[in-house]
Structure 1
């Protein structure tokens, strides 16, 4: 009888009633008959099985049936809704069945379908899904970074008369923290208390983490210290609380405070976990403190916590970053020896690290091996990394770039904007502006829209190849589109300087000042220009203007002025005393001198062999 029921819609209510207390029997029989090649259940029969599963609180099994209807059998979300609605028996069915349909839609990222189910139930059937279904829907909007949609749908939920629970409030707090609206998140905390809902440790952790993300560690620490008072001693910190604060201090380079928090959590009886140690290890490596990082690795092993690929990825990344390829290779070998699996981040770190340090053939070979093992994602990160570094390795790399691109096309991948941008920037920096323009034309033909970074690369390439007139025409067109920034104008300014066109230099500089589009690079370009035409005094006046406009001179400003003044002193056009005076003036203005420049020029002038910059 049951097999006949599955193939048709006969006696739906009676079968539903008969099998409602035997979900295991129903599920087992369904799986057995499903092995038959000619088995094809009806929509209503599967919907009734879903009712049985929900009634028995077998939500995961119900979700499997839902996904089967939506993804395998090809029914739309509204078809399934109608099937569930038509087979609904108030005496036996459960309203949670409609919540599960929304969960099924969100589980594979179909937010529009989930919302249509909510709207259809309310508008067409007069049925309101639970607040839990809304929370599930809103949570997926946040995790998909659809924050604008989140706020609209949250407002819609409230307008429909729903009462928020702790999970709804936490979602709002989470969304506010993601948007860096920290003080609004704290206000939401007090609103929760006002309506009688006690925030939980998750609420505190999100706000503390939000404070750390905007580098306001003091606020995060203050919230942690007052957690007990603010929650009427209902809430106490957990490992996530401490890990958020440790991560905040680590990113600021304050490892002493980060380790103090690790000790504090231990005293409170909260054991530091893998995340705690991984965060501290990464913080020390970020500061270049390899000994401390390795000390912590040994300490965690002593505590019975084995470093995982996240920890090793961090170590290998920073070793490659510092150029220590030998030690990085040793750690990679150890990962292989101890069966610690490489993940996509390991692969990315390895390809990037090898490429950055000049081992491009090795990077290409490793990428080829990954392709052969089908271990390369389709996001083009590895390919774009190879193109980026290949084009910076010299003109002879063009053939290898072509090989990478041909391999992409053979695998059915299309060049994206990053690929085109890397090629345009690389060719521009090589001085091959004709190749850069050709790639730009190909990009337009393929329907890819260039961004400002790409336009800036072309402008910079034109200026460096002394095609300043073309660069100016291009910048004028970009201005009409509103597609320019200080980088664009600095490139053009540098081009005018290279052409010794003082009128164009001054006109553009004054325009940039009026538009508030100047930075330290702008001033350094001008200081360098006036020093090169022999006017150290005018270079100093530009530096004074820089200070007056609250743009801090930097070590580059120092090097330009001191080096050019010293060159003039060697030919008798500038006294050595004035070089020392210039150095002193820059120091008074808070400029940190470049160590190499000081050691070679200023130190010997004042009778010192070297000068250690603190």
Structure 2
């Protein structure tokens, strides 16, 4: 009897195991079909198999055998069939995948990539074709797994990361980036880490996200080796990308999290905030440095000196300098130059000279920047004699002048109208081998123009060209336009012809201004020649130039050419105005071509809505001055009224004059 019980128990136990195994095989089969894109098994087949499994499962698993007085008792227990969710975050490690070749097994994709990275010196360029069917299974989690396996080999980790981005065209997520950043920083590959960090910061700047780079970097420290320097690089990366405000926020987060930032990075941050004129935040950074134990250096104090100098409170600057000396930092040349420049900008020249003398006492020799700042300050106060004395004192101190120091004094002389002194300095400058720059030429020419000495300005430019000094195009533009405004279009034309031989390429506005000026002096031939030249250069005439040319042609009695030029103007999408209308009609009236004048009057009214009463009166006056004008005047008035012209008192006057001549 006992043996029979044991046999029955063994049979039921084997049935239970078989049912569980079959259920796992079935679920694995379904998962494999979906993973390999084969679709799901047929519904009838699944239904039949499920029903049979349900019966065998109840028979095998819901029975517990108890041997008690020869009776079998059943106790139901809850052992449901395990269902694999398709939406699970973790991939299904299906045992049936292992029946596939390694290059088709999704479970092996990480192993295959790691093996290729380890064994192939040429990289992963050939691997893509070998595991083509597995590429869709390479997700963010698999990328992280590969990176973590190569924590000690930053070169291969970076090679794999670039392969994923470039060859596969996948975009790693922020965590993938941060894992690689930690690996690179741990391996002291700081340039590569900075490039990658800037790329990540840029992606966050383009697409706003819930998390920021700092949070993802911190969370990634749980999975890999890391170096705290990466958080210092995070602040520096924002500054390198020009995101100063974001860099300041990153600095606060890094400090609040207990990490340190180097004094060099703090200096970069202070400098960026200073350029944005965020003086309050500069002071906040300095206070945080003190609380966090970040020791400032001389460069830090120089930046902060500049910060305080931008403030109007000079006493605050002096207090800061005293504190700087108490902490053991002696002001250096940069500190003194910052202060001297600030005092000179604010007109506090006595304080600037006091610092200038203190510098010598403390063994800090003033340099070119110091002297240039003082000279500029003296020039602002119009103390030209003292400025020139300081200028020469530089040479006695063994400091050579540069183009900036010369420009400072030349500009001041030109501003005061002292053109002889400025020219003398310019000649001295050239004699010392210092080439005048764009600013030098510009201020000297503008100085001569303000004094009304245009010819002297032109001669100076010609003289500079003999010395081989290049004159900027904008200086020539200014000279030509100034000559035109001064009523010297022919001098401007001669200058233009001379510099054209040197390869001068002027702006269209300059040529238009010159043509307009030539037309004002009825030099229509020269103006048309210039027009033909710039048309060959594909330059476009503006409205003012067309109007000047048309009016000048009409004054010269060349009305058909003027009308033709107006048609060219219309082709350039420019519309005529009443001034052009009046010029053409006056021209034809002078030729006594009343029909053409009336035709143009109607054309301008119909096509452009120009009802110029002055032009209408010109036609009426011209007709009334001729003989036998009564019928013509009456008919003209009727036709013009139908077009919409309204006669005024002057029209009536001309009509009466014309009719009175007929009566007389």
- The TM-score, its normalising length taken from structure 1, stands at 0.49
Pick the structure with greater CA Rg. 2
- The TM-score, its normalising length taken from structure 2, stands at 0.46
